[in-house]
A and B are shown apart, each in its own frame.
Chain A
Amino acid sequence: MLAYAILAGILFGLYFSLVGLGLNLVFGVMRIVNLAHGDFVMLGALLAGALYGAYAISPVLAAVISLIVFIIIGFPLYYLLVPRLLQAPDPEMLSIILFFGFSQVIESVTTIVAGPSERSIPGRAMGTQPVHILGQTFPAAWVWSAVASAIAVLLVFLYLYRTRVGRLTRAVMADRHEALASGIDVGRISGLAFGIGLGLAAVAGAFAPFMLGGISPASGVSLTIQSFTVIIVGSLGSPLGTVLGGLIYGISIMLMQTYLSSWAALLPYLLLIAILLVRPSGLLGHEVRHA
């Protein structure tokens, strides 16, 4: 039972890394909190569900499609919202409220267009044979979702550490003003990072029906909280921390569900508060505590 819980925790952990990664990228590059992150996960899930229902397109292909679609949507969205926000006296705080409003808009428009009902994708869309790992048996959808998440995370690391644009992105993450002073087009880099952040959320959404159960337009808020837990356990603004945070979160969720299931729902919140109080910068972060 312990081995099962830990292995399942690793599978879910890989997936949760992907769920949090986009949020962390946006925070790292722009220092704004995208409280609508969970709603983009929800949109990705609905899109994948619709594609599977209408054309039997596999969720993996749907994930690639939604990555492209949301990068294209994210770029103009960045110019619409963020530059104006960054001029405000306290952008980090105001971003929480701004994106809360945005999340309301997304939720209501989705409800009006698609109806309030819960959607899911049948597990056979990701293969029918259960997979055996180290003597434990898991549903194929879990394993392939985790593998797809790991590949997506790997691609983000290749982007950040092996391409020119990725290096510029890391420069903006390190210091926005100095990046601007050294001639980097900070606006375009940020817009791209914003689009990729939304795209990654949508990719995570494509696998959400298998990992998290049915998704409805109202799922956004709890998805956002889970993403926050993941990236804060890791550390805000650090992509590598997100992977660590995702794994810790996934394994502790599975252990809680196995041994103490009636209190399992409390775990993300307590983990979040405990980590914030003990190490507010997250496990891999630098000093952030003030006064």
Chain B
Amino acid sequence: MPRSALRNSLWILISLGLVAALAPLAYANQLLLFNFIVFMVLAQGVNILYGFTGYLPFGYVGFFGAGAYGFALAVMHLHTGPWVALGAGALASVLFGCVLTPLLRLSGAYFAIANLAASLAIAEVVSNPALTDLTQGPYGVSLADTFAPTLSYGAAVAILLLTTACVLVLRYATLGLALQAVRDDPISAAMAGIPVVRTRILAWLLSALVAGLIGANFAWYVSVFYPDNVFSPDFSIFALVFALFGGVGTVLGPILGVLLLYGLYNTIGISAPQYFQLIYGLLIMVLVLFLPNGLASLLRRWGIHVI
């Protein structure tokens, strides 16, 4: 790794960590700040998969929900502490990713739709009244014992840094180049000696891992939630749109996307949801038609280098 890359990475991680950790001191609504972190992690997770492999995870929320329910099940049935439960959430999500690995054989729209169906299927299983003994079914989960907002906020900052570090590694290390080569032309990449299947599965499970971690963290932070909350398709869509708006395949693009769009959402979205949905839908359409490579490509055109 060249020295400039190392310097950039440290600079990004330190400033991101400081801002995220100190923001609650300057701004009282900690839940909102927490949601910003959640979406930054999810947008980066989408970035890992879509930006570096070209697979569009249209049901990305499946991993998030699997993480949240992994956390909840560990706390409810195994009576573990929150840190072990975080691990359980990540494990649940990675296992779900392993089960879905065969989906990577599909290409293009087929993968996106199969992934969407998979996320709806796991949501349907978790919220099925027949499983009330195990998951509380549609009646939701309450985890009052582990409730600790400040501590779990700190954990979210750590997960954000971990995720960003993963994207930095992909951006600067050979692995990221290998993934991008596979994305652009799998056959040539295979001829150049890149283990196509293994690198793809690695990116897929990495992206499942970060979504599962932040999902578990979400369960810890909010402590009371319903299947509809943690499996809401909005998570997939928002994460995708934020990542695309900022620019996939870059490190700062998705973070920028979350700051701008989620900021916009909170300024106008709460008071008039229908009008917000309208503006949001139009924004997505304009984005795809006129700026398909995101804000990063626009900034690059103006001569500003986006890492």
Interface on A for B, CB 8 Å cutoff?
27, 33, 81, 84-85, 88-90, 92-98, 100-109, 111-112, 221, 225, 228-229, 232, 236, 262-263, 265-266, 268-270, 272-273, 276-277, 280, 288-291
CB distance from A40 to the nearest CB of B (A): 15
Q: Are A97 and B274 in contact (CB under 8 A)?
A: no
Contacts of A273 in B (CB 8 A): 103, 114, 117-118, 121
Known A-B contacts A101-B284, A262-B130, A263-B130; the reply to A81 vs B117 at CB < 8 A is no
Docked complex Cα distance between A154 and B70 (Å) = 49
Interface on B for A, CB 8 Å cutoff?
54, 56, 58, 102-103, 105-110, 112-114, 116-118, 120-121, 124-125, 128-130, 186-187, 190, 196, 233, 237, 240-241, 244, 274-278, 280-285, 287-289, 292-293
Contacts of A84 in B (CB 8 A): 289
CB distance from A268 to the nearest CB of B (A): 8
Q: Which of A93, A266, A280 contacts B56 (CB 8 A)?
A: A93
Q: Are B277 and A107 in contact (CB under 8 A)?
A: yes
Docked complex Cα distance between A259 and B285 (Å) = 43
Docked complex Cα distance between A228 and B59 (Å) = 15
CB distance from B128 to the nearest CB of A (A): 7
Known A-B contacts A93-B109, A96-B56, A102-B285; the reply to A269 vs B118 at CB < 8 A is yes
Contacts of A109 in B (CB 8 A): 278
Known A-B contacts A97-B288, A104-B278; the reply to A225 vs B110 at CB < 8 A is no
7 A-B pairs besides A33-B112, A101-B288, A289-B107 with CB distance below 8 A are A100-B237, A102-B281, A112-B275, A236-B109, A272-B113, A276-B106, A280-B110
Q: Are A104 and B284 in contact (CB under 8 A)?
A: yes
CB distance from A122 to the nearest CB of B (A): 28
CB distance from B4 to the nearest CB of A (A): 29
Contacts of A229 in B (CB 8 A): 117
CB distance from A234 to the nearest CB of B (A): 14
CB distance from A132 to the nearest CB of B (A): 35
Contacts of B54 in A (CB 8 A): 90, 93
Known A-B contacts A93-B112, A96-B58, A272-B114; the reply to A280 vs B105 at CB < 8 A is yes
Contacts of A265 in B (CB 8 A): 124
Q: Are A269 and B108 in contact (CB under 8 A)?
A: no
Q: Are B124 and A266 in contact (CB under 8 A)?
A: yes
Docked complex Cα distance between A291 and B187 (Å) = 7
Residue of A nearest to B125 (CB): A266
Q: Decide if the interface of chain B is mainly helix, strand, loop or mixed.
A: helix
Contacts of B129 in A (CB 8 A): 262
Q: Are A98 and B289 in contact (CB under 8 A)?
A: yes
CB distance from A99 to the nearest CB of B (A): 9
Known A-B contacts A101-B284, A280-B106; the reply to A112 vs B278 at CB < 8 A is yes
Contacts of B124 in A (CB 8 A): 265-266, 269
Q: Are A101 and B282 in contact (CB under 8 A)?
A: yes
CB distance from B244 to the nearest CB of A (A): 7
Contacts of B190 in A (CB 8 A): 291
Among the interface residues A263, A268, A288, A291, which one has the most CB atoms of the partner chain B within 10 A?
Answer: A291
Docked complex Cα distance between A230 and B187 (Å) = 32
CB distance from B156 to the nearest CB of A (A): 27
Residue of B nearest to A116 (CB): B274
CB distance from A276 to the nearest CB of B (A): 5
CB distance from A18 to the nearest CB of B (A): 20
Known A-B contacts A85-B288, A225-B117; the reply to A97 vs B241 at CB < 8 A is yes
Contacts of A225 in B (CB 8 A): 116-117, 120
Q: Which of A33, A103, A106, A263 contacts B109 (CB 8 A)?
A: A33
Contacts of A232 in B (CB 8 A): 110, 113
Contacts of B293 in A (CB 8 A): 89
Contacts of A81 in B (CB 8 A): 285, 289
Contacts of B233 in A (CB 8 A): 221
Known A-B contacts A263-B128, A273-B114, A291-B107; the reply to A97 vs B282 at CB < 8 A is no
Q: Are A101 and B281 in contact (CB under 8 A)?
A: yes
Known A-B contacts A102-B285, A269-B118; the reply to A92 vs B277 at CB < 8 A is no
Docked complex Cα distance between A272 and B121 (Å) = 10
